[in-house]
């Protein structure tokens, strides 16, 4: 993995063809104006939740082919991570601070 844009853009190395890579772009938001709490999208991309959903799907697939305790634990931890991110989002929506630079 190479960081192309801290927190937002990554270059992921292919497993077998080490010379090839894939770019992973997360959504990038910044304040609309200096000092503003309202955020605007600077560059569209995916979310942590979407990447976790992909990983969960892949681990279920691998578990169906090569079942083991470790895969089951990974699935549990990934699902737990996704649950906590979704809880954070729901809490921010309930507090009216979703899409704003406020804790």
Tens digit of each residue's pLDDT (9 = 90 or more) over 23-71: 999 999 999 888 889 999 999 999 999 999 999 999 999 999 999 999 9
For the beta carbon of residue 87, count every other beta carbon within 10 angstroms: 10
What's the pLDDT score for residue 88?
96
* DSSP three-state, residue 83: helix
64 and 27 within one domain: no
37 and 13 within one domain: yes
Question: Which pTM was predicted?
Answer: 0.89
90 and 66 within one domain: yes
Range of the domain at 41: 1-46
Q: Which domain-ending residue is among 46, 61, 80?
A: 46
95 and 70 within one domain: yes
68 and 23 within one domain: no
Q: Work out how many domains the chain is built from and give that number.
A: 2
Residue closest to 90 by CA, chosen among 61, 60, 51, 82: 82
For the beta carbon of residue 9, count every other beta carbon within 10 angstroms: 16
């Amino acid at each position: 993995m190479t960081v192309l844009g801290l927190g937002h853009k990554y270059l992921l190395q292919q497993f077998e063809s080490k010379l090839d890579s894939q770019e992973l772009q997360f959504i990038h938001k910044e304040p609309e104006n200096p000092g503003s709490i309202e955020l605007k999208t600077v560059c569209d991309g995916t979310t942590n939740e979407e990447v976790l959903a992909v990983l969960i799907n892949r681990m279920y697939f691998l578990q169906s082919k090569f079942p083991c305790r470790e895969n089951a634990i990974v699935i549990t931890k990934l699902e737990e991570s996704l649950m906590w991110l979704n809880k954070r989002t729901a809490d921010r929506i309930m507090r009216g601070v979703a899409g704003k630079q406020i804790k």
